[in-house]
Amino acid sequence: MKSRITVGMIGLGTVGCGVAKVLLGNASLIAKRVGVPIELVRIADLDITTDRGLSFPDGTLTTDAQSVLEDADIDIVVELIGGYDPAKRFILKALENGQSVVTANKALLAVHGEEIFHAATSAGVDLGFEASVGGGIPIIKALTEGLVANAVTSMFGIMNGTSNYILTKMTEDGKGFEEVLQRARDEGYAEADPTFDVEGVDAAHKLAILVNLAFGTTVNIKDIHTEGISRLSTIDLEFAREFGYTIKLLSIAKYLDHEIEARVHPTLVPSTSPMAQVGGVYNAIHVVGDAVGDVVLYGQGAGSLATASAVVSDIVDIARSRLKNIAGRVPVASYQWTHRAPIRLRPIEEISSMYYLRFMVVDEPGVLSQIASTLGEKNISISSVLQKGRQQGQTVPLVIMTHRSSERSVQAAIQAITRMPFVSESPMLLRIEGAES
């Protein structure tokens, strides 16, 4: 048996530093669990001069990523630079060299997963990506192993910590999106360019990875209907609260009639539901399996050490297999490669949901009846109506909650209503999950 497992890391940023800290700090504990030491023998980063408060043996740090990829003595390559290129080239090169790979790169896997998974499968080496979804939450292992007995019927969750932090603050403090975003930036919870986080792109990337694993199919990220939180206004959070709901940015996947629904959008969830309680930078993922029923996993969705926990669990997983001289024990994409198959992704127009609709209307007699009648014509049944602050002749918000209706009908009704003379600005449409229809 090998007397140690060697790890080379590319990228010594926030997560990279966390991985180094965990591998060094818990080295003895990890060796007791694995049987041999796991040694971080080389770290490549463009910046090897900044003091990160970590000390490594001479020769560990390098600016040359190739020296990690070309070293046949390195068992596991950990890619933590993020982005598409050169991350993808590095990973494919490592796989080709027979090195196992661990990555936290959700954007890369969501967009180029098919190619990378195929490369790992063909090369007969392992690829770990637990850290790509849910930070420290072991959701990839749950889907591919712990819940392997189940046909997954649905999954939904809060998969982006930054947007959840912003929504939580908007809800608690009644402040607008821009103001809270600025504060999140100041506190280090949002990046300078927060587009991926606040527009739902990052949450869609993670959903694409989970759908791939749960259903054994590749989704095109462009086919996932994605809406972010930037257009939300505090009055919607407030109205939702009055109806007993909290607004969360949910990633949702459902398996229905041999098709998949996959979408990311701000969603009203009952304020008493576990999902509504998930605050700040925490993530929670709810999986429904045909045998297990409801399972929820909750934890820190980001952060240096929490994400490192996931990266190191992948390293240990691969180390344990390397020590037995095997690879591919769990197929990289959860299903055996030849058993993965295309499944139709249902366009958003074909879903059905309950809806929260907010119209800005001139407060005058007959408005509600005209809107209600248009909804009725489209077969959309209203469950409640709320109109705040009567100001004859002024513009006021009118909120309508619907029973389960078809998205296509709702969109058509909204178009018709938007053309009515008493409607100002675009209506707000939000979907509701987790409530009785």
Which one, of 386, 387, 376, lies nearest residue 413 by Cα?
Answer: 376
Cα 309 → chain centroid: 17
Which one, of 183, 154, 319, 121, lies nearest residue 252 by Cα?
Answer: 154
- Which pair of tokens denotes residue 239? 């109205």
Q: 174-191 as b/e, with b when 16 or more CB fall inside 10 Å?
A: ebebeebbebbeeeebbe
Output the CA–CA distances (angstroms, integers) from residue 436 to 54, 189, 269, 270, 432, in the order listed. 53, 34, 11, 10, 10
- Which pair of tokens denotes residue 15? 């997560």
Please identify, using beta-carbon distances, which residue of 306 and 357 lies nearer to a second copy: 306
- Containing 379, the helix (H) or strand (E) segment is none
Please identify, using beta-carbon distances, which residue of 32 and 419 lies nearer to a second copy: 32
Do the Cβ atoms of 323 and 100 come closer than 8 Å? no
Please identify, using beta-carbon distances, which residue of 70 and 270 lies nearer to a second copy: 270
What's the burial of 330, exposed, middle or buried (CB within 10 Å: 0-12/13-18/19+)?
Answer: middle
What is residue 150's DSSP assignment? S
What is residue 324's DSSP assignment? T
Please identify, using beta-carbon distances, which residue of 256 and 296 lies nearer to a second copy: 296
Please identify, using beta-carbon distances, which residue of 164 and 374 lies nearer to a second copy: 164
- Catalytic positions are 206
Task: Round to whole Å and give the CA distance between 4 and 73.
Answer: 11
Tally Cβ neighbours within 10 Å of residue 92: 18
Do the Cβ atoms of 281 and 301 come closer than 8 Å? yes
> Minimum distance between the CB of residue 80 and a second copy, rounded to whole angstroms?
15
As a whole number of Å, the CA-based R_g of the chain is 24
Do the Cβ atoms of 68 and 74 come closer than 8 Å? yes
Cα 232 → chain centroid: 19
Binding footprint of a second copy on the chain (CB under 8 A): 18, 21-22, 25-26, 29-35, 130, 136-138, 141-142, 145-151, 216, 274, 277, 289-300, 303, 305-306, 308-313, 315-317, 320-321, 323-324, 326, 329-331, 334-336, 339
Written as one letter, the residue type at 336 is: Q
- Containing 9, the helix (H) or strand (E) segment is strand 5-10
Task: Round to whole Å and give the CA distance between 241 and 223.
Answer: 31
> Minimum distance between the CB of residue 255 and a second copy, rounded to whole angstroms?
11
Strands in 363-415 per DSSP E: 382-387, 395-402, 405-406
Do the Cβ atoms of 67 and 93 come closer than 8 Å? no
Please identify, using beta-carbon distances, which residue of 82 and 303 lies nearer to a second copy: 303
Please identify, using beta-carbon distances, which residue of 282 and 359 lies nearer to a second copy: 282
Cα 51 → chain centroid: 32
Please identify, using beta-carbon distances, which residue of 104 and 357 lies nearer to a second copy: 104
Cα 385 → chain centroid: 33
